[in-house]
Structure 1
Amino acid sequence: MEACCPYFDPDYENLNQRINGPRVTVDNESCENCTVIKVNSLTEQDLLLEVLQVLTDMDLCINKSYISSDAGWFMDVFHVKDQNGNKVHDKSVISYIQQACLSLSLSNPHTAKRVIGAIRIHQNSESRKQKEVTLSPKLEQNSLPDCTEIEMIGPNRPGIFSEISAVLAEQRCNIVEAHAWTHNDCLACVAKISSDEPTSPQINDPSRLATIEDHLSTVLHNGGVKARFLGCNNTVGQADAERRLHQLMFARRDFDQHYYSEIGVGKRTMVSVDRCNEKRYSVVNVECLDRPRLMFDTVCTLADLHYVVFHASISSHGPFASQEYYIRHKDGRILDSADEKQLVVKCLEAAIERRICEGVRLELCTENNPGLLSYITRVLRENGLTVAHADIETNGENATNVLYVQDISGNSNIDLTVLEAIRKQLDPLAFEVKHYEVPSLSSSPKRKMSSSPERDAFSFVSLLRSKIERFISM
């Protein structure tokens, strides 16, 4: 006899989500200087971080934000500008924001990755159109070579990025994309490479990958090197690579080393952890320099430490920013021990400081020629300069190399005669030079941070604002 069972509609599992959201609105009317993006949805784990990854991949600057996740409902409000400080008016970009956030909220990671990939390709296309650069047929077909991703972590030393570039060039590897950070005595790098052989662009042979790993490990003094073949995976955004850089640095415990140990003396980032007794939250306050991707760096660090953000309020005032997060551990605990609080403070300070690049910013827009990055970094090293931070991106036949350089002693003040000598050696390659100095937080008009270990009164400002906006949007 055949067993009978009741019919189950597969759509029922997602019925609650389909009825109650998600909703994404992009508003250019209510705020004079910013575009307001609101995301309403049922609460899902890490949804805040995923939304931030979408905005980060689109290079949007968050000037203000209110976060509320209560009673199973999630609401984010972001006041954003583009890189030029303007509202987001492009209808196609707005549509992409809505599609990406909706796909994330609908728990469809494959759709989300495809949408985010389309966003990045669209942005790159628009950027090159503005610069009057002809698009290659390869890019117009929305395709890039099959890539191999390499993660590297090891001790930092002058010229290390130049040595890495030289090894990849010797192994006949073309750098499609790379992001490298140095912080304290650590270097972390995430790179996508392909073969410079036009007949076989893939690097998927295990023995060849093992050889590349071995050579890089030698350069990194037996540091960690991991290579994996991605295939035609062009939907991974820059925010994914940057989160991985945070994780690599955290695993290397770069936060245990402090160059700014005296409070208030040359310190650029101030973090405190209080306690809200009434609602059983731990309250994290951050005062630091305002910059793009700041909120992303903070939230992804809290997520990697296994904390959940329930409410938050972020604002900027001039060149400085204030952040307040109401958090609990994933198991519902708050931060009770002094050691746990100290770890959170150290990790957040390190996460914020990692991205700050002091020194001279060099930007070179060139044709994508294998070995060119190795040549550029070798010229810098021969002139006594070292790369402290790098962002390399390839768009079709064109490559953009953004390098922050210092002298071998870590000094960001570089003699103009040295830069002129480099310019002559790299001729006819043209590059843009920009000096960047980071001010001290001690000069900021910030509010005084509470020294009390507990906070008896719960601030409902951001929560109330979020609740009101939620009801208005219904």
Structure 2
Amino acid sequence: MKKVCWPYFDPDFDNFPERIYGPTCRVCIDNESMEDYTVVKVDSVNKQGLLLEVVQVLTDMNLIISKGYISCDAGWFMDVFHVKDEHGKKLTDQSVIDYLHQAINTTRETPSPAKAKAYVNDFFEGDHTSEHTAIEMSGTDRPGLFSEISAALVDLHCNIVEAHAWSHNARLACVAYISDQSTDTPIEDPLRLANIEDHLTTVLRATGPRQPNNQEVKTGGGIVAGEGTTVTNVERRLHQLLLSVRDFDEPTGSPTTSYGSGSVSDSEEGGRKTVVSIENCDEKGYSIVSIECKDRPRLMFDTVCTFTDMQYVIFHASIRSSDDGYAFQEYFIRHIDGYALNTESEKERVIKCLEAAIERRVCEGVKLQLCAENRVGLLSDITRILRENGLAVVRADIATQGEKAVNAFYVKDISGNEVDMDFVESMKKEMGPIDLEVKNDCMRPSSRERAHFSIGDRLKSQIERISQNFIPIK
């Protein structure tokens, strides 16, 4: 009797016909296959930007993507992600799993302002896109600029409800939600909006004559988004704004050259640098982009966001994190017109833009968090005190929660050096009843000696004068 040998079929392909001819989007959240990770599988009819939308959902929930396998070829989207929560644990809360399932399925729909979530991070989430006026600013950065912007909005009788600012390579991008100071309602008068734009543009241009695409202010009822949407993620918009002012170019011939967040490539510890390389796969017509860098939360979002906004389509990708804290990413891409990257100048630009996207979120300064009873002008007062005491804000996340104002700043010494830890500790102790949370996860030791006790005294006295209502952060 002859022995019959059957061909081997991978179990994942058993339901392949159902995947193709079934629902347009299937989401499977698997807690059984992996001991340390929750596996999220997404199968869907593909559309441009869908990968970014899925990654954005995972990022907005503060999930850590440890591995990822992406295939978006032949009109079909099949992705697998190995994720953990922000505490490094599998997803066990059923309500979180249900929300994740629903959120990914919702990416198939065009979001409306009422549905879109504007921003989520470690200590607040906001949705002010329909309740307040959005304002976007981008231009050349300088020490104290964020403080000047805050003061200008107060002078214009605007209340800052929420604001996010990134500084990189001497460029600044800021997205803020404002309301009328007296009525706490959106500002809709065209003449007043034009006056706000003119006033803030003057503040941004104070460093010199305007250069093309260098200083820009836009106001409106919501954040300008991509085609088919009226709202976009705030972090993605910050990426877009910095890209528009060419923060991927090193500043030259300017006194602000040494100011702002440093380069990841030049400053990583242990001698390992960020490496981005591109080679062509002529057989399949792809360009293969390889990235090796220090791992961190939201890294995949930042890189996928950059590809999408530069009009590149990701067909296949592999993402993984190593035990020594490094991430390895490989993308098979083509330009949206269907061609691979054929010129060295195009490859060089993509490499520089990816390096900038990786660096933007990394702040080498000290993180200061303050929580206080909200009032008009509070942000302006706090940023002015930081500026007067030699501290420059290189990143800010500001929000209101009811009657409270939650402020998080990454600050550096105004000369570009990291803030000395002895100074930070003395400042914290001398504040007495004022509760100030200080985090220095990204700070490196400074060899510079400073006379910091007098600065601490000044910070204490001035903050106590402007507000007696600081409360501990929960």
TM-score normalised by structure 2 residue count: 0.77
Q: Find the counterpart in structure 1 of residue 301 from structure 2.
A: 296
Gap change, CA 1:365 and 1:73, over 3 Å in 2: same
Of 149, 173, 189, which residue of structure 2 is paired with 1:205? 189
Of 168, 171, 179, which residue of structure 1 is paired with 2:164? 179
- Are positions 1:436 and 2:441 aligned together? yes
C-alpha separation in 1, matches of 2:325 and 2:130: 40
Of 95, 98, 101, which residue of structure 1 is paired with 2:98? 95
- Are positions 1:384 and 2:390 aligned together? yes
SS of 2:22's equivalent? helix
Per the TM alignment, residue 219 of structure 1 is displaced from its structure 2 partner at its CA by 1.4
Q: Which residue identity is paired with 1:292?
A: P
C-alpha separation in 2, matches of 1:354 and 1:205: 34
Q: Find the counterpart in structure 2 of residue 470 from structure 1.
A: none
Per the TM alignment, residue 202 of structure 1 is displaced from its structure 2 partner at its CA by 2.3
Deviations 1:257-295 (A, max 9, x none): 177688999774210001112222100000111111111
Deviations 1:227-278 (A, max 9, x none): 11249xxxx9997111111111111111121776889997742100011122
What are the residue-to-residue correspondences of 1:29-48 with 2, within 5 Å?
29-48=32-51
Q: Find the counterpart in structure 1 of residue 142 from structure 2.
A: 157
Per the TM alignment, residue 375 of structure 1 is displaced from its structure 2 partner at its CA by 1.4
The answer on whether the counterparts of 1:23 and 1:102 sit within 8 Å (CA) in structure 2 is yes
Q: Find the counterpart in structure 2 of residue 228 from structure 1.
A: 220
C-alpha separation in 1, matches of 2:28 and 2:439: 37
Q: Find the counterpart in structure 1 of residue 152 from structure 2.
A: 167
Q: Find the counterpart in structure 1 of residue 180 from structure 2.
A: 195
C-alpha separation in 1, matches of 2:140 and 2:51: 33
Deviations 1:132-163 (A, max 9, x none): xxxxxxx9xx9898211111011111111111
SS of 1:152's equivalent? strand
Aligned residues: 401
The answer on whether the counterparts of 2:369 and 2:406 sit within 8 Å (CA) in structure 1 is yes
Per the TM alignment, residue 332 of structure 1 is displaced from its structure 2 partner at its CA by 1.2
Per the TM alignment, residue 48 of structure 1 is displaced from its structure 2 partner at its CA by 0.2
SS of 1:273's equivalent? strand
Q: Which residue identity is paired with 2:204?
A: L
SS of 2:329's equivalent? strand
C-alpha separation in 1, matches of 2:102 and 2:395: 32
Q: Find the counterpart in structure 1 of residue 414 from structure 2.
A: 408
- Are positions 1:256 and 2:245 aligned together? no
The answer on whether the counterparts of 1:177 and 1:193 sit within 8 Å (CA) in structure 2 is yes
Per the TM alignment, residue 316 of structure 1 is displaced from its structure 2 partner at its CA by 0.7
Q: Find the counterpart in structure 1 of residue 316 from structure 2.
A: 311
Per the TM alignment, residue 416 of structure 1 is displaced from its structure 2 partner at its CA by 2.7
- Of the structure 1 ranges 159-168 and 406-415, higher mean CA displacement relative to structure 2 is found in 406-415
Q: Find the counterpart in structure 1 of residue 5 from structure 2.
A: none
C-alpha separation in 2, matches of 1:372 and 1:118: 23
Gap change, CA 1:170 and 1:418, over 3 Å in 2: farther
Of 283, 286, 290, which residue of structure 2 is paired with 1:285? 290
The answer on whether the counterparts of 2:39 and 2:83 sit within 8 Å (CA) in structure 1 is yes
The answer on whether the counterparts of 1:168 and 1:174 sit within 8 Å (CA) in structure 2 is yes
Per the TM alignment, residue 93 of structure 1 is displaced from its structure 2 partner at its CA by 1.8
Gap change, CA 1:224 and 1:74, over 3 Å in 2: same
Q: Find the counterpart in structure 2 of residue 54 from structure 1.
A: 57
Per the TM alignment, residue 17 of structure 1 is displaced from its structure 2 partner at its CA by 8.9
Q: Which residue identity is paired with 1:205?
A: D
The answer on whether the counterparts of 2:119 and 2:233 sit within 8 Å (CA) in structure 1 is no
* Structure 1 unaligned residues grouped into runs of 5+: 1-15, 129-138, 440-474
Indicate the RMSD between aligned Cα atoms, in angstroms. 3.2
What are the residue-to-residue correspondences of 1:365-384 with 2, within 5 Å?
365-384=371-390
Of 70, 73, 93, which residue of structure 1 is paired with 2:73? 70
C-alpha separation in 2, matches of 1:143 and 1:179: 13
SS of 1:255's equivalent? coil
Of 226, 239, 246, which residue of structure 2 is paired with 1:246? 239
Q: Which residue identity is paired with 2:110?
A: N
Q: Which residue identity is paired with 2:149?
A: I
Deviations 1:412-452 (A, max 9, x none): 13253366347756x6542211113379xxxxxxxxxxxxx
SS of 2:354's equivalent? helix
C-alpha separation in 1, matches of 2:114 and 2:191: 31
Per the TM alignment, residue 64 of structure 1 is displaced from its structure 2 partner at its CA by 1.0
Per the TM alignment, residue 90 of structure 1 is displaced from its structure 2 partner at its CA by 2.0
- Of the structure 1 ranges 210-219 and 39-48, higher mean CA displacement relative to structure 2 is found in 210-219
Of 215, 218, 231, which residue of structure 1 is paired with 2:199? 215
> Between Structure 1 and Structure 2, which shows a larger proportion of helix residues?
1
Tell me which of the two structures has the higher relative contact order, counting C-alpha pairs closer than 8 angstroms and 6 or more residues apart: 1
C-alpha separation in 1, matches of 2:418 and 2:297: 21
Deviations 1:44-101 (A, max 9, x none): 1110011112112222121111101122211111111222222222222211211121
SS of 1:31's equivalent? coil
Identity of aligned residues (%): 54
Q: Which residue identity is paired with 1:189?
A: C
- Are positions 1:356 and 2:362 aligned together? yes
Per the TM alignment, residue 25 of structure 1 is displaced from its structure 2 partner at its CA by 1.3
C-alpha separation in 1, matches of 2:230 and 2:420: 33
SS of 1:33's equivalent? coil
Gap change, CA 1:237 and 1:28, over 3 Å in 2: farther
C-alpha separation in 2, matches of 1:120 and 1:421: 29
C-alpha separation in 1, matches of 2:204 and 2:24: 48
Q: Which residue identity is paired with 2:76?
A: W
TM-score normalised by structure 1 residue count: 0.77
- Are positions 1:274 and 2:279 aligned together? yes
The answer on whether the counterparts of 1:34 and 1:81 sit within 8 Å (CA) in structure 2 is yes
SS of 2:174's equivalent? strand
The answer on whether the counterparts of 1:307 and 1:330 sit within 8 Å (CA) in structure 2 is yes
SS of 1:65's equivalent? strand
